[in-house]
Amino acid sequence: MKRFKRKALFPLTEVNVVSLMDIMTTLLFFLILMASWTHFSSMKSKAAASATSNNEKHKFSLAVVLVDRKNIEVHLGKIDKLEVTNTEALANYLAQNFSGNAKAGYKQKITSASTSQSEEEQWKEMLKKLHASIKAIKSSFPTEDGASLVIANNIIYQDIISAMEVISSEKTLALFPDITLQESLK
């Protein structure tokens, strides 16, 4: 009797190690390239951050603090070494509406003055005052785009959005479109 030989399920072929090594070498090259580029980028950003720390004294800062629905604060940082376009107009406006000085910074407290109005009408009136302050500051610093919006825990979402709209734009002019949101520590 004849013995039946069992056929192999898979054909016998050799694995091409050369092409496999080419693929692995290429992948390793790009992995090392990306790792070194990432490291170089982080070194460059650290160097840029340390270089700007010397000029941090000359940086524009504007913060709007939403304390509650009846109190808004506007903080304008040190402006003594900044480039101001309407120096006299800004000085007059700040003297009338803000407390502080150019070397220490300015602070304005916007509160609801009327008790006869509803809370919603008082909020809208405060936003109008905030808008006037932001417009006056923007007219003296036309190249600045950034502002911070500091929010207390008790502020509702719609009030945050309406304050952001007041800070960021007017009908024909972008005021401070780059808004940074922060949580109040109080």
- CATH number for the domain including 63? 3.30.420
Would you say residue 118 has pLDDT above 70?
yes
If asked whether residues 38 and 91 sit together in one domain, one would say no
Give the pLDDT confidence score for residue 169 in this predicted structure: 79
Mean pLDDT of 116-137: 89
- Average pLDDT of the residues of the chain: 82
If asked whether residues 35 and 68 sit together in one domain, one would say no
Question: Domain limits at 32?
Answer: 14-49
In a domain, 5, yes or no: no
Buried b vs exposed e over 134-171: b needs ≥16 C-beta within 10 Å? Answer: bebbbbbbeebeebbbbbeeebeeebeeebbebbbeee
Give the pLDDT confidence score for residue 183 in this predicted structure: 84
Structure tokens, 147: 């502002």
If asked whether residues 75 and 160 sit together in one domain, one would say yes
Per-residue pLDDT tens over the stretch 144-157: 888 889 998 888 98
CA dist 24 and 142 (Å) reads 54
Helix (H) or strand (E) holding 45: helix 17-53
If asked whether residues 41 and 105 sit together in one domain, one would say no
Report residue 108's pLDDT band, with 50, 70 and 90 as the boundaries. very high
In a domain, 6, yes or no: no
If asked whether residues 39 and 88 sit together in one domain, one would say no
If asked whether residues 44 and 125 sit together in one domain, one would say no
Mean pLDDT of 41-64: 65
If asked whether residues 118 and 37 sit together in one domain, one would say no
pTM over 0.75: no
In a domain, 9, yes or no: no
If asked whether residues 84 and 159 sit together in one domain, one would say yes
In a domain, 176, yes or no: yes
The sheet with strand 146-151 has its strands ordered as 99-101, 105-111, 71-76, 62-68, 146-151, 178-183
Mean pLDDT of 35-45: 73
Helix (H, G, I), strand (E, B) or coil at 27: helix
If asked whether residues 44 and 95 sit together in one domain, one would say no
- Which has the higher per-residue pLDDT, 47 or 9? 9
Domains in the chain, number: 2
Structure tokens, 99: 């407390």
Most confident of 47-61, 116-130, 161-175: 116-130
Using CA atoms, how far residue 112 sits from 9, 27, 68, 158, 163, in Å, is 86, 64, 11, 18, 15
In a domain, 8, yes or no: no
Structure tokens, 77: 């940082």
CA dist 84 and 137 (Å) reads 10
If asked whether residues 75 and 165 sit together in one domain, one would say yes
Report residue 5's pLDDT band, with 50, 70 and 90 as the boundaries. low
Strand segments, DSSP code E, in the chain are 62-68, 71-76, 99-101, 105-111, 146-151, 178-183
CB 147 within 8 A of CB 131: no
Q: What angle do CA 100, 101, 103 make, to 5 degrees?
A: 130
Mean pLDDT of 160-182: 84
- Which has the higher per-residue pLDDT, 115 or 128? 128
Report residue 117's pLDDT band, with 50, 70 and 90 as the boundaries. confident
If asked whether residues 82 and 42 sit together in one domain, one would say no
In a domain, 92, yes or no: yes
Would you say residue 28 has pLDDT above 90?
yes
In a domain, 94, yes or no: yes
